[in-house]
Amino acid sequence: MTPEWEHSARSGDIDGLERGLGAGLSVDALDRYGQTTLMLAALHGHGPMVEWLVGHGADLDHTAKYRLSALMLAALNGHRDIVAVLVAAGADQTLRGSGAPGFAGKTASDLAVDQGHDEIGELLWSDAGDPQAG
């Protein structure tokens, strides 16, 4: 991931990403921590960018540190609209975090509820069809 691409991802600059794609960068470029562009956009709450990345075939289920995915990062940070986009696109809700206390063995729904984002936890539970699955 180039510094320009990373800046665009963190700031929600879709035009910057379009320029990067035109220059041959991958939609799934990784930052120094192994996070994809989609993960950065989800973490920072850039809904339109998440939609753009999904539309360009971004890997929905890539995981990085603590095995967290874009869906998990959005859920942790209370970005309900992004969670809804990722779920509708088919992001894997069964992925579980690892390593750090607070992430190990937890799904996106577990992480959302742990952070007080009960509405997101309910959205994930209702989509999964089994409130006991998280």
* pLDDT tens readout for residues 24-58: 989 999 999 999 999 999 999 999 999 999 999 99
DSSP the chain: --HHHHHHHHHT-HHHHHHHHHTT--TT-B-TTS-BHHHHHHHTT-HHHHHHHHHTT--TT---GGG--HHHHHHHTT-HHHHHHHHHHT--TT--B-SSTTTBT--HHHHHHHTT-HHHHHHHHHHHT-TT--
Q: What local confidence, expressed as pLDDT, does residue 132 receive?
A: 42
Q: What local confidence, expressed as pLDDT, does residue 15 receive?
A: 93
CATH of domain 3-128: 1.25.40.20
Q: What local confidence, expressed as pLDDT, does residue 134 receive?
A: 39
Q: How far apart are CA 104 and CA 50, in angstroms?
A: 25
pLDDT under 70 in the chain at which residues? 126-134
Q: What local confidence, expressed as pLDDT, does residue 127 receive?
A: 63
Q: How far apart are CA 7 and CA 13, in angstroms?
A: 8
Q: What local confidence, expressed as pLDDT, does residue 121 receive?
A: 85
Q: What local confidence, expressed as pLDDT, does residue 81 receive?
A: 95
Would the pTM of this model clear 0.85, i.e. be above it?
A: yes
Q: What local confidence, expressed as pLDDT, does residue 64 receive?
A: 93
